[in-house]
Amino acid sequence: MAGFVVWVRQKNPSPGIRTKTRAVVAFLVATVVLGTSMTMFGRFFGWCSPLVAATATMVIMGWTAFANDVVPMRLPNALRETRDWELSRFPYRTLGVSVLGRILRRSPLRHLNPAVYLNGPSISSEFVRVHLEIAEVVHFWAMVVSVPYLILAILNGWLQAVSAIILVHLLANIYPLCHLRLARGRIARYQRRSR
């Protein structure tokens, strides 16, 4: 699936209607493949399984990325601007968010979205800032879209599933979201200084 994501996110030499068609086809294929796979996985292991819960949470994040390519989503207005306290040592740096950034830069995960790095195919700091916000949007909405499954797990008393969902959100959505906000805030500060 990761290979499919990288293929879809490649720079397309002919932008326009073909790019949108490619995104729609990728979204439809991802929806069918991910939906079918998760249904079979859930039936085999049981929806209360922590393995299914963790996998479903990651699948929802991937599906949200494909959906955002077709219907661009936005952050709620309250989250669009980074605040000064987010760029200070506390809380992000104290919680190890900058360590996550160093790990991401040195791992193969950086290839999932090279547009959020200044030394990648990016041309300008504005290009990177925009793509950082797009990545933030995906992580944010992945958390929101998975809330019904979390509520279902809580209501049914599937404590292991609840723990798995929360752990995956912490590692795959919350920490990356904090890292993206920190990076976007630093780029915005750099842009303000260079004007």
For residue 181, which of 65, 72, 100 has the smallest C-alpha distance?
100
Mean pLDDT of 142-159: 96
CA atoms within 13 A on the CB side of 180: 27
Q: What would the pLDDT profile of 108-137 be if each residue is shown by its tens digit?
A: 888 888 888 887 555 788 889 999 999 999
Count of other CB atoms within 10 angstroms of residue 96: 13
How far is it, in rounded angstroms, from Cα 187 to Cα 87?
11
So what's the pLDDT on residue 5? 52
Query: Confidence class of residue 9 from pLDDT cuts 50, 70 and 90?
Result: low
14 contact partners, CB below 8 Å, separation of at least 6: none
pLDDT by residue (tens digit) across 41-66? 999 999 999 999 999 999 999 999 88
Query: What was the pLDDT predicted at 55?
Result: 95
Nearest to 24 by CA among 77, 90, 70, 73: 70
List C-alpha distances in Å: 22 to 53, 70, 127.
Answer: 30, 9, 22
Q: Cβ distance 41 to 52 under 8 Å?
A: yes
CA distances from 66 to 12, 31, 108, 123 (A): 16, 9, 20, 24
pLDDT at 85: 84
Give CA–CA dist 37/58, Å, rounded. Answer: 13
The pLDDT score that the predictor gives to residue 61 is 92
Highest mean pLDDT among 24-33, 68-77, 150-159: 150-159
Token couple for 89: 């040592």
- The DSSP line for 126-184 is HHHHHHHHHHHHHHHHHHHHTHHHHHHHHHTT-HHHHHHHHHHHIIIIIHHHHHHHHHH
Q: Give the model confidence (pLDDT) of 18-49 as tens digits.
A: 678 888 998 999 999 999 999 999 999 999 99
Of 5-9, 21-25, 76-80, 84-88, the poorest mean pLDDT is in 5-9
Whether the per-residue pLDDT at 14 is higher than 50: the answer is no
Name residues whose C-beta falls within 8 Å of residue 73's C-beta, 6 or more positions apart in sequence. 67, 137, 138, 141
